[in-house]
Structure 1
């Protein structure tokens, strides 16, 4: 059963019991992702680490400019 089918069943049950209908699947996905991002930034600041640019800095260290290879 996928999310849409489950939503249809939940909507039917809510109508039978007079309860409000549940939100559509995916309605709050972006809000949840923003909350998780903000929470991680907050915890980084509390721990004394930089809150922004950590992934980009790690990638720059890993894949940044390397010394030129000798030519043949």
Structure 2
């Protein structure tokens, strides 16, 4: 079964169960690549003792704000 056939089967099952359809294959590939690159840059900065910058700092800020809300 190809990935396209499997996706169509998943969409059919989701409609039968009244659930939202799963994303199409490859829909989030670029986001995964960006996150992987950011993670590598963050690890390199931490190991070199440099502060985080740009997207990394913004992502860490969002993550920390979310954790503060959920713990308090």
- Consecutive aligned runs of 4 or more in structure 1 exceeding 6 Å deviation: none
Q: How many residues align?
A: 50
CA shift for structure 1 position 49: 7.6
Q: Give the TM-score of the pair, scaled to structure 1.
A: 0.64
Unaligned runs of 5+ in 1: 51-72
Q: Give CA-to-partner distance per residue, 1:21-40, whole Å, 9 cap, x none.
A: 01111100001000000000
Unaligned runs of 5+ in 2: 51-72
Q: Give CA-to-partner distance per residue, 1:16-66, whole Å, 9 cap, x none.
A: 10000011111000010000000000001111189xxxxxxxxxxxxxxxx
Greater percentage in helix: 2
Instruction: Supply the RMSD in Å over aligned alpha carbons.
Output: 1.6
Q: Answer with 1 or 2: which has the greater Rg.
A: 1
